[in-house]
């Protein structure tokens, strides 16, 4: 069974950096595009970034482009999100999600999420 486990969340000051990881298991990681989706406290879902299965193509939301970098290590079945120049607006639970077979917005498995809090 597919399983995704995020880690690396925590508290950081405005302007700081943080690196999130997502360990995948139960499926052939290198066959699937992967995503980060976030949810600010009490708010809705916001797509953050997508990376293709081989890592050669990445997509970003306008709100994070130039500050966040998505990457993956297929030899270790792990997805990453390097976040820099963080602001209070980046405070959220960050979920990694596996792309389903049917479309770029089809996320068929989600991790439990990791909380990032940006505060002074």
Partner 1 sequence: QSVLTQPPSASGTPGQRVTISCSGSSSNIGTNTVNWYQQLPGTTPKVLIYRNDQRPSGVTDRFSGSKSGTSASLAISGLQSEDEADYYCAGWDDSLNGVVFGGGTKLTVL
**Interface characters, 1-30, with partner 1 (x: CB under 8 A):** ------------------------------
- Would you count residue 115 as binding partner 1 (CB under 8 A)? no
- Cβ(93)–Cβ(111) below 8 Å: no
Of 33, 66, 39, 29, the closest CA to residue 52 belongs to: 33
- Would you count residue 103 as binding partner 1 (CB under 8 A)? yes
- Would you count residue 68 as binding partner 1 (CB under 8 A)? no
- DSSP string covering 11-74: EE-TT--EEEEEEEESS-GGGS-EEEEEE-TTS-EEEEEEE-TTSS-EEE-TTTTTTEEEEEET
In this chain, which of 29, 32, 60, 94 binds partner 1, going by CB under 8 A? 60
Give the residue with the Cβ less far from partner 1, 6 or 78.
6
Chain contacts with partner 1 (rule: CB under 8 A): 35, 37, 44-47, 50, 59-62, 95, 100, 102-108, 110-113
């Amino acid at each position: 069974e597919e399983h995704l486990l995020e880690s690396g969340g925590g508290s950081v000051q405005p302007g700081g950096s943080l690196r999130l990881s997502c360990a995948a298991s139960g499926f052939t990681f290198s066959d699937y595009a992967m995503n980060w989706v976030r949810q600010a406290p009490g708010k809705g879902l916001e797509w953050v970034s997508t990376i293709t299965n081989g890592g050669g193509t990445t997509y970003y939301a306008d709100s994070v482009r130039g500050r966040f970098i998505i990457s993956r290590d297929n030899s270790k079945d792990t997805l990453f999100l390097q976040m820099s120049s963080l602001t209070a607006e980046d405070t959220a639970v960050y979920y990694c999600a596996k792309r389903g077979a049917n479309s770029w917005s089809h996320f068929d498995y989600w991790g439990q999420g990791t909380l990032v809090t940006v505060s002074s």
